[in-house]
Each structure stands twice: as structure tokens, then as C-alpha cells.
Amino acid sequence: MSAHAPELRRLFAFLDGRLPPRDQLETRVHLEACPACRAQLDVLRRTRGALRELGERMPVVPPQNPNAEAKLMQEVARRGAPGTRVQWWWLPVTAGATLLLALLVLPRLRGASAGGEPVTETVAPGPEAPAAEGDRVATVVALRGQVEDGVSAEALHPGKAGDDLPGSAVIRTGGDGEARLALAAGGEIALGPATTLVLPPDAQGVLRLDGGTIDVHVTPRKEGERPFGVETAVARIEAIGTRFRVVHAAGATSVDVSEGKVRFVSLPSDEEQLVAAGKAARVDGSGRVAEIPAGSTLVAVAEAPAEAPEAALTPEPPAPAPEPPGEAVEPGEVEVPIQVTRARGTIDGARVRARVSRQRGAFQSCYADYMMRVAPQPVRVNAKFIVLDDGSVGSIDVNLTVEDPTLAQCVERVFRAIEFPRPQGGPARVFYPIDLSP
Amino acid sequence: MAVAAQVVWPEAILVGSETENLVGRCLTGDADAFRELYRNHRPHVARLVQRILGPDSEVEDVIQEAFIQIHRSLPSFQGSSLLSTWIHRVAVNVALQHIRRRKRQRAGPVTMVAEPPEPSSGDPAPEEDVLWRDRMRKLYAALDTLSPKKRAVFVLHEIEGMSAEDIAKTMHAPLITVRTRLFYARKALYALLAADPSFHELVGGGGG
Ligand SMILES: [Zn+2]
């Protein structure tokens, strides 16, 4: 083999001193013999040094404008106590115009997304596997052909049914191997041939698929639990209670969903997509997410090259394309509105309620998305807004009991899209709490 | 669908540690408590915001905005992380939001242009400072080509010197995601910097 392209991932890990001792040594030996890698490492090291130096030359704390504190305290006083300010700020102004309404939204995520029966079937856990205990993250339920597992990639041994796998353990199937795991957090994963899967440090963490195919069946997550997550070199998939297949081969990741839906995130580009049952999508090193025909991952399985067990580190994905400029829609935005409108008007509460109720579906989908991304836990939305003379929404302040800018923004968008009845006597203030629960 | 008309406000304010007390006092509208929180945390918040934004005339405004957001979001602080971690998370988010807004306002992608260094107003800066300021500006022009999340991970790791573990806690993201973002950000940024002549002497030719 002639001069090769240096493997950046390994060089960065080496630079950070994060390689396991054996790999560290191996890399050192390789560097002695390989001028290309040596030169590359040198550039990385110098660049890191330059960045450190830049950091040190930045002022430790930007000088404070002498008025900053006074201005902040003034602004905070104007806003009142966090979370309770409504009681004094909203009520006295126009008692008749202030509405205290609550809308209880009860989405049925599974029923709604899969369009069928909720998943009632449960995965039989490992024979002697009760609820999560100790640091067991998964148990090998069944296997066939060549399967190895161990606490790390350096300590693999032939696997057998009943093996308890702790956090960060590795399981690897050979070209003819297959294995089934029961997850301590609920759910089951079937590993296809030539697959390497790294378990998360704890039962709630994200798995890593280094290569190969997994079929995942996630049981619904309990309140407060993180969604199930699996990550490859180019994509992350999140789900709460679904069935799907993930294939990672030749630097590209495909997901094929058979039940429910999953969130598919391209790591090179941060592009995100919800993939629903009967759909499939793919992302490669360019970072672009493309829809692919459902079932086409079956072909990918057959084509997936058996990864040599010696390739301990994740294979270098193809160079990612430059990120899309502008990033038109970036979730995670919270506007911090400063109330300026003087609201004196009155508005018909029953009609406001009717208009908002009509958007129940939209609120549900905001919340369904939140449950997918975060956890199926109850959320209270406190929305305060001003309805302008023409019935449109002026300034709006969406406060949540959880910190989730994406949900707040989604809710805000729904409110903004509503055409309200015209208020009388000028803009009117509305306070609208919504309870969202799974 | 059930429509309930009652409003239930979060009332559980724990009285325990000093932090919880401070948060509890802030939640009741105690201005002195919030002032204390501000004074305790401003230096670190300012530092994070400044490093994420770089040379930006609005650093001070963004710090201010971060504290308004902190004040506003205090009811959602549940004590599952340290107060400081939570405060830093809000600050990082507000800084990123500022970047997104800024990006949207600018037309088209930002290209790295070798601008001449600003004529220094008032006291003349030593030549070396001018050089570093120029590098700083270029670094941040390069950072503008990254997505905000990658930019944050890169800055916190490479410039602020935080560990990937601490970044994961601060940004409330899985460690593996932080590592992956860091990898792509480094790969892109290191290539850009290595190609830039003014970094070349740093990157390609020994130290200073
Ligand atoms: Zn080499």
C-alpha cells in the first residue's frame, strides 16, 4: 500500500491522549514510520497551540459597562418575580380583559404516529433480567455464529447467551454472526452480521454503531427518561417506543422505520428529519439527509462489507461537504420579547378559547416532537401575548416548566398563526396556560 | 379533551442549600437575591459569551440578555444539575441564538477576507497586539462557517479548554454527540486555519 491519507479521528484522539494505551503505543510506532501522519499531526498540534494562545490572549472577562447591573436590575424588576409575575403584572391592568384559560392537551403519541394500535407487545427480557440494576446495560439473549463481547474493544471474548454487558461494553458479530440483546432500559436490539455496537456508559445513554446493521425495538420510555439513542460516525437516531433498522456501512447511515417514528439527525450538517413508519432515510459524509425507498436497507445489509475486526477505531467518513450556508431553520431559538405595547383593550374570552382550541392538533405535534426529543413528561406552557387591533399576535412570551427552546418556539409559532377576534378599545392582553401531558 | 380552568403554579421551592435558597429567593421576586446571583455568575457567563461570540460589539448586550433569560427561566431550574452548569447552559444558548440571528441578518455565507487591521483609535496598540487581533478576527470569521452548535463545542474545547465531559453537561447533550461535533468542527476549522497565510507562520513554522 502506498502513502495513505492520515486518519484524522485517530490523530485527534492521540493528540488529546484519549486513545487506549495499546492504541496509543501502536499509533506512536506508526508515526515513527509514516511521514504523512507525522506531518499531519504536527499541523494539528501547532494549530491547537495557536488556538490555546489566542484563548489566553483574550481578555479574561470583558470589561463591564458600569450601568449594566443597574439596567439589568431595572429590567428584572419590570418583569417581576420569575414565574409568578402574572399575579401582579397581568391582573390589575384590565381585570376584565385578562383571561385565565387552560387547555388540557392529551396527545397519544404512539397511536397518533403509527396510526394504528399502540404497541402493547412487550419484549421478553433476558431470562433472569429484572429492571435495571447495577451497571448492567444489556444482556445477550440469543446468538448465532461468531459473536464476541467484552468490557472494551481490547477485551473481547466469545459471547454466550446470558452474558450481562456493563456500560461501555462492546459486542461484535462476525460475517456469519447474529445476536440479540435485551436492553436494561427496555427494548431489544438484533445485531446483523459484521456489526460492531458499543453500549453507552449507563442504561440511559446513547449507543454507538461503528458498522453493520441493527434492528431496534424500543419499548416506550418512562417519564423523565431520555429517549433511546444510537449514533454512528455521521448520524444520530432518537426514538421513544418504535421499531426501526439502522445500517452503517461505507461511511453512510440509513434508517428504516417500521413502527412509530424516529428523529434522524445528520451530524456533519446538523440537519434533522422525522422519519415515520414505512419511510427510510440516509445520510453520508456530505451531511445531507436524503429519503430513500423503504426496505432498501435490506439491500444495504447484503452489500455491507464485513468490517475487519482489526479496525478498532471508527472508520474515517468521507470528507463532509461544507455546511449549508445560512441554516434557514435552526431549532432551539427563544426570543426574549420586551413588552412595549400598552394593552388596554378587552377581548371576548370565549372566542379566544375557541380559536386556540382549534389548534389542538398543532400543539399536540409540538409536544409529540418534544417527547421524541426529550422525554414524555408533563409540561406546562404559560403563554402571554398581546392581540393587536387587527387580531394578530403582537409580542408573545412563552414560558415553560421545562427548559426547551424548541418547544417554546413551536408553541409560539402556533399562537402566532392564529387569527384572533379583534379586541375592543385597543390591543388586549391574554394569558393562556396549556397543560401538555403524555 | 378535558378543558381545565384552574391554574396551578409551581410552588415547590426547596429550602436547603445556599444555592436553592438563592434560587428560591429569586423566585419570590427578591431583587437582592438576583443581584447576588448576577454578581456571582457574571464573570464566568461573560467569559463564555465573549469566547463564543468573539469580537462582537454586542457582547455586553448578549450578557445582559443571558441574565434576563436566566431570570425568566429560573422556575424551570430543577436542581438536577448544578446551578452554575444550568446558568452556563442558558448563557451558551443565548449566545448561540444571537449568532443565528446575526447569521440570518447577513446576506449569504461569510467568506474569509483578509481585512486590514482596524486603525486603532486612541492609544496606539503594539504591533504584536494588532497581529493577534487580526488573527482573532480571522479565527472568528472561520468559526462563522460552522453551525452554531459545533462552534460552541469547538470554542469551549479548543479556546476555553473545557473537557468534552463538561461541555456535554453544560450543553445538555450526550458525550458522544459532543465528541462527534468536536471532530467535525476541528476537521473543518484546522483545515481553514492551516490554509490561512496569517496563521501559517503559527501553524506551519514553529512557535512565537
Ligand atoms: Zn500514516
Query: Percent helix, strand and coil across chain B, each rounded to 5?
Result: 65, 0, 35
Whole-angstrom Cα distance, residue B45 to residue B64? 10
Q: Domain range spanning residue A331? A: 300-437
Instruction: Answer whether residue A96 shows pLDDT above 90.
Output: no
Q: Are residues A347 and A408 in the same domain?
A: yes
Q: pLDDT digit string (tens) for A274-306?
A: 888 888 899 887 888 888 877 765 433 323 333
Residues with Cβ within 8 Å of residue B122, at least 6 apart in sequence? none
| Contact yes or no for B174 and A53 at CB 8 A | no
**How do the domains of chain B map onto residue ranges?**
16-203
Q: Are residues A281 and A326 in the same domain?
A: no
Whole-angstrom Cα distance, residue B203 to residue A54? 12
Domain boundary among A64, A95, A110: A110
Q: What is the pLDDT of residue A223?
A: 62
Nearest-CA distance from B15 to chain A in Å? 17
Q: Is residue A126 part of a domain?
A: no
Q: What is the pLDDT of residue B131?
A: 81
**How far apart are the CA of A292 and the centre of ligand 1, in A?**
36
Q: What is the pLDDT of residue A62?
A: 60
Q: What is the pLDDT of residue B125?
A: 59
Q: Is residue A117 part of a domain?
A: no
* Out of B27, B89, B199, closest to residue A82 by CB: B27
Looking at the structure of chain A, the number of domains it has is 3
Q: Are residues A311 and A347 in the same domain?
A: yes
A274/A349: higher pLDDT:
A274
Q: With CA atoms as reference, report the closest residue to B46 among B2, B17, B87.
A: B87
Q: Which residue of A has its CA nearest to B97?
A: A333
| Of A64-73, A340-349, B134-143, B144-153, the least confident | A340-349
* Out of B68, B194, B199, closest to residue A75 by CB: B68
Instruction: Answer whether residue B88 shows pLDDT above 80.
Output: yes
Domain boundary among A269, A292, A315: A292
* Contact assessment for residue A341 and residue A427, using Cβ atoms and an 8 Å cutoff: yes
**How far apart are the CA of B133 and the centre of ligand 1, in A?**
36
Whole-angstrom Cα distance, residue A181 to residue B46? 47
Q: Are residues A23 and A99 in the same domain?
A: yes
Which of 1.10.1740.10, 3.55.40.20, 1.10.10.10, 1.10.260.30 would CATH assign to domain B16-203? Answer: 1.10.1740.10
Give the mean pLDDT of A150-169. Answer: 81
Q: What is the pLDDT of residue A433?
A: 72
Q: Is residue A415 part of a domain?
A: yes
Q: Are residues A92 and A200 in the same domain?
A: no
Q: Are residues A48 and A176 in the same domain?
A: no
Whole-angstrom Cα distance, residue A338 to residue A289? 37
Q: What is the pLDDT of residue A321?
A: 36
Look at the pTM and tell me if it is higher than 0.90: no
| Of A60-64, A123-127, A258-262, the least confident | A123-127
Q: How confident is the model at residue A344 (pLDDT cuts 50, 70, 90)?
A: low
Q: Are residues A363 and A342 in the same domain?
A: yes
* Out of B69, B148, B158, closest to residue A48 by CB: B158
| Contact yes or no for B194 and A43 at CB 8 A | yes
Partners of B27 on chain A (C-beta within 8 Å) are 81-84
* Contact assessment for residue A226 and residue A247, using Cβ atoms and an 8 Å cutoff: no
Q: Are residues A150 and A59 in the same domain?
A: no
Q: Is the dihedral of CA B50, B53, B59, B62 positive or negative?
A: negative
Q: Which of B22, B30, B48, B203 to mutate to test the interface with A (most CBs of A within 10 A)?
A: B203
Q: Are residues A171 and A45 in the same domain?
A: no
* Contact assessment for residue A377 and residue A223, using Cβ atoms and an 8 Å cutoff: yes
Instruction: Answer whether residue B117 shows pLDDT above 90.
Output: no
Domain boundary among A275, A292, A309: A292
Q: pLDDT digit string (tens) for A406-426?
A: 899 898 888 888 888 888 777
Q: Is residue A104 part of a domain?
A: yes
What are the CB-based long-range contacts (under 8 Å, 24+) for A297-303? A297/A213, A297/A245, A297/A247, A297/A254, A297/A255, A297/A256, A298/A256, A300/A213, A300/A247, A300/A249, A300/A254, A301/A192, A301/A193, A301/A213, A301/A247, A303/A249
Partners of A69 on chain B (C-beta within 8 Å) are 35, 38-39
Q: How confident is the model at residue B150 (pLDDT cuts 50, 70, 90)?
A: very high
CB pairs under 8 A between A and B: 221
Q: Are residues A141 and A288 in the same domain?
A: yes
Q: Which of A76, A106, A269, A404 to mutate to test the interface with B (most CBs of B within 10 A)?
A: A76
What are the CB-based long-range contacts (under 8 Å, 24+) for A359-366? A359/A414, A359/A417, A359/A418, A360/A103, A360/A105, A360/B1, A362/A414, A362/A417, A363/A103, A363/A105, A363/A411, A363/A414, A363/A434, A363/A436, A364/A105, A364/A107, A364/A112, A365/A107, A365/A410, A366/A407, A366/A410, A366/A411, A366/A414
Q: Is the ipTM of this complex over 0.85?
A: no
Partners of B47 on chain A (C-beta within 8 Å) are 60-62
**Percent of residues, chain B, with pLDDT higher than 70:** 75
Q: Are residues A347 and A244 in the same domain?
A: no
Give the mean pLDDT of B170-177. Answer: 89
Give the mean pLDDT of A186-207. Answer: 85
Partners of B60 on chain A (C-beta within 8 Å) are 62, 64-65, 68
